[in-house]
Amino acid sequence: MIQTFFNPEIIVASWPIVLAGLRNTVLLSLLVVPLGLFGGLILALLASVKAPAVRWPLMAWVDFFRAFPPLVLLILLFAGLPFAGLELGGFACVAVAFFLNTGAYYGEILRAGIDSVPAGQVEAARSTGLSRLQAMAFVVLPQAVRNVLPDLLSNTLEVVKLTSLGSVVAVPELLYQARQAQSITYNPTPIVVAAAIYFLLLWPVVRLLSRLENRALARR
């Protein structure tokens, strides 16, 4: 059992490969999380325009990406676009897919946050002479983000986990590298190591989230 799943020789031999994967997963996360947040911010700001002509298409956009599996979106970009003469490469496809998919989720969260700030805040800010944009940036958004911080964190955790989809389009992130090492060594140890790395990396976030959620409940 130990020889199969926790083989020390294989851990040592595959360590450089797995480590390169870990580095790429971190880099990928550092790229796609801000990208998703940016997409979400655009959606949330658009949603604060209450006109039906804006609201309905926006709702449809968000529901579309809530219904559409991210892997399907990724494959569509990676395998479908070349037929239209556009070859993006795995990395760019992941970036675009995450911008669209996680942007929709971040957008919903930020929208809820903006809705949670009382209208009086905007009115007070506007009456002091701030422009609409200034009121949004300096008064509403800081409070909105604070109100939905646990949800933002929880979604960010999901986004980091989702970077493992990159392995399907040959982005050399943690899971991809571990599978490469596995096929070289004919041993599942590298995958176990990758799983352990994900767990050690993300467990503190999960613990923190659990505590934040419990505190939110206690305040009710």
Token pair, residue 200, equals 């050690």
Burial (CB count <10 Å: 0-12, 13-18, 19+), residue 71: middle
For another protein, the closer CB: 136 or 175: 175
* 109 lines the binding site for another protein (CB under 8 A): no
- Alpha-helical (H) ranges within the chain are 2-5, 8-47, 52-67, 70-75, 89-116, 119-127, 132-134, 141-147, 149-162, 174-185, 189-219
Binders in 59-78 for another protein, by CB under 8 A: 63-64, 66-72, 75-76
Binders in 139-168 for another protein, by CB under 8 A: 157-158, 161-165, 167-168
Read off the amino acid at residue 19: L
Q: Site for another protein (CB under 8 A): which residue of 83, 128, 129, 133?
A: 83
* 212 lines the binding site for another protein (CB under 8 A): no
Task: Determine the angle formed by the axes of helices 89-116 and 52-67, rounding to 10 degrees.
Answer: 130
| Chain residues that interact with another protein, rule: CB under 8 A | 1, 4-5, 63-64, 66-72, 75-76, 79-80, 83-84, 157-158, 161-165, 167-168, 175, 179, 182, 187-188, 191-192, 194-195, 198-199, 201-203, 205-207, 210, 213-214, 217, 220
